[in-house]
Structure 1
Amino acid sequence: MQIFNNNKILSTLKEIPFKLEKDIQNLFEQNLELITNFKLIKSEFTIKNNRIDTLAFDIESKAFVIIEYKRNQNYSVVDQGVSYLNLMLEYKADFIVEYNENQKDSLKRNDVDWSQSKIIFVSPSFTDFQKQSSNFKDLAIELWEIKQFENEIIVINPIKKSKSAPSIKQVQRNDDSEISKIAKEIKVYTEEDHLQGKNDDIKELYDVFKNGILNLSSDIEIDPKKLYIAFKKQKNIVDIHIQNRSLKMWINLKKGILKDEKEITKDVSISGHWGNGDYELSVEKSTGVQIYFQWLSKLKSLMIDIHEGFIFQ
């Protein structure tokens, strides 16, 4: 990625290396919700002689997240990642106690979805070997690059796993290994998981809405969750749950913000629902194309609000 300073004539911005891992950690923790949408639980959490740099909680997934910071490249992301994830799964009660001691609200064991646990490594750079060794679609280890430039510019780039990333189960033959244990208990969801077993009509309908949403802005990302597929621009914009005969979608806006004169959405502000936001839209194949254009037009106007600083809940 090339980054320039625009002063009529472009000039290259000079990268400023982080002096200490602690500098990266402080930057992340002070801005954790903005960067990740996670809640900070504990900095320097020690458990069973292991020190976790940052313990966070993903409210959307109802899961704990471990974040580790590195300046050098002399370590194995898989070995440490698997070890820490196993530590979490083995001592679940300790993580819940730590949450309850540091937060105003409290958690019970059943409030946590342990299958959505994950670990994130944050570093200025990763080796090709580190990227390749963690490139498994069902391995809950993420790599995020962070760089600092002059003029106080920070660039954070989560490294995406390749579309052809294999399953860790294909290379793990020993069922007693640590990595096999976490592969059984922790589930990383993909679009394919949500589309599995669905008929071609529903798959085609999903593709229509998916492409329409992605075409609204180049920086919208797809983030499959356990119960739905999230489309994000920093925060969730739309969540889609793929059913056997229809799509159920939630627009992440508070009640009263979306102008819906034709009433194609349903108010779910006081009823239980899976996705984010107070507006729900159900679309079947027979009505999909008709509603699609009405709905997409509304989303385009919402994207203007986003660019003007509108903050989704």
Structure 2
Amino acid sequence: MEVFNLKNNKVEFIELYPFKVEKEIQEIIEKNTDTFFRLEFVRSEFPIGEFRIDTLCFDKETSSFVLIEYKRGSSYSVIDQGYSYLSLMLNNKTEFIVEYNESLNRTLKRDDVDWTQSRIIFISQSFNAYQKNSINFKNMPFELWEIKRFYNETIILNKHISASKENINSISTITNSPIIQSVNKEVSQIDEDAHTSKTDKEIVNKWGELKSKIQELDNTELVSKRQYISLVYNTKILCYFNFRKNLILIEIIRGNINPDGTTSKNYFTINDPEKISSEGSWEWKSGVKGTSYKIKLTNTSDIDYIMFLITQKFKSVAGNRY
């Protein structure tokens, strides 16, 4: 990737400023886990057994632990290390909960954690083709992110996106490993098919129409979680899609109303002349709450009008750039 600085319609090439050691990357990530990944930082260099986890984080949205590992070079297997670390965590759940509570002065309980949503984020300045291909399955509990630094102090993070429809459990050469088998029994990454499978075909067709329009929004991503699919702009959640048998419930994030009647900083007011939305609220398993505008997508819904409402939220977050 090449980066240029634009001034008075003239461009100036910005040179890459590579990181010399992993620690430089680690320090930047750990100070910005919420900004980069919407994760709560727990601890750096967490020792467990014979291993040491580079960065331990917690995902409040899914109420699950996330491990971050930093790599230089390409002489390691993402699959082998990833599953070894997940197995280590699943066999030492108490230690992770104790570390979370002691580091953050919280009272997280074992049953509060959704271990099925556990995952690992690998961060490197580059990954080779073998490493990228090794996670090309639709339900892998791993993410690969390439990080680049430039001389103007710009940082770029790119996530490797798999387009594969193949389920890792169908690959016997991989799942013959006892460690992988044990992890896959407990860790289950949810994809879009798991949501649409319980929804009527007519509604799924409507969802396909809406999704094609949503994908035209720059810098957005549809992220599948256990209970919903979320639409994310950079690291900010715009709305949730909850799949039911006869409809899809869309919750556009509104913001919070404080006890004194004032609203949160980024409070969003929708322009809905047809009045198809209703006021609602949402709550993550971790207890994080917010208010929303609820919209029902049915087989008679006007997709263009629903997209008009979603785009309002997108523009309110993206600002004057769109």
In the alignment, is residue 106 of structure 1 matched against residue 107 of structure 2? yes
Matched residues, number: 304
Written as runs of structure 1 = structure 2, the 5 A alignment for 1:31-110 is 31-110=32-111
Gaps spanning 5+ residues in structure 2: where?
Answer: 257-266
- Corresponding residue SS for 2:254: coil
Query: Could you tell me how far 1:252 is from its partner in structure 2?
Result: 1.5
Residue aligning to 2:263: none
Residue aligning to 1:251: 252
Output the amino acid matched with 2:168.
Answer: I
Give % identity: 34
In the alignment, is residue 296 of structure 1 matched against residue 307 of structure 2? yes
Residue aligning to 1:280: 294
Residue aligning to 2:277: 265
- 1:205-226 per-position Cα deviation (integer Å, ceiling 9, x unaligned): 21232233333x2211111111
* 1:175–1:181 CA contact under 8 A, matched in 2: no
Query: Could you tell me how far 1:47 is from its partner in structure 2?
Result: 0.8
* 1:114–1:186 CA contact under 8 A, matched in 2: yes
Correspondence for 2:319 among 297, 302, 308: 308
Q: Distance in 1 between matches of 2:179 and 2:197?
A: 28
Gaps spanning 5+ residues in structure 1: where?
Answer: none
Output the amino acid matched with 1:35.
Answer: F
Bigger shift: residues 297-306 or 186-195: 297-306
Query: Could you tell me how far 1:43 is from its partner in structure 2?
Result: 0.7
Output the amino acid matched with 2:77.
Answer: S
Query: Could you tell me how far 1:157 is from its partner in structure 2?
Result: 0.4
* 2:255–2:268 CA contact under 8 A, matched in 1: yes
Residue aligning to 2:224: 224
Q: Distance in 2 between matches of 1:257 and 1:179?
A: 44
* 1:15–1:147 CA contact under 8 A, matched in 2: yes
Q: Distance in 2 between matches of 1:194 and 1:242?
A: 6
TM-score by length of 2: 0.87
Residue aligning to 1:2: 2
Residue aligning to 2:195: 194
Output the amino acid matched with 1:265.
Answer: S
TM-score by length of 1: 0.90
Query: Could you tell me how far 1:261 is from its partner in structure 2?
Result: 5.6
Output the amino acid matched with 1:280.
Answer: K
* 2:238–2:313 CA contact under 8 A, matched in 1: no
* 2:223–2:231 CA contact under 8 A, matched in 1: yes
- 1:247-288 per-position Cα deviation (integer Å, ceiling 9, x unaligned): 11111121563235654222223x7688964222223223x1
Query: Could you tell me how far 1:175 is from its partner in structure 2?
Result: 5.5
Query: Could you tell me how far 1:299 is from its partner in structure 2?
Result: 2.7
TM-align CA RMSD: 2.2
Moved over 4 A (4+): 173-176, 271-277
Query: Could you tell me how far 1:165 is from its partner in structure 2?
Result: 4.6
- 1:133-167 per-position Cα deviation (integer Å, ceiling 9, x unaligned): 12222221111000111110111001111x22522
Closer, same or farther: CA 214–124 of 1 in aligned 2, 3 Å: same
Q: Distance in 1 between matches of 2:77 and 2:308?
A: 47
Closer, same or farther: CA 132–175 of 1 in aligned 2, 3 Å: closer
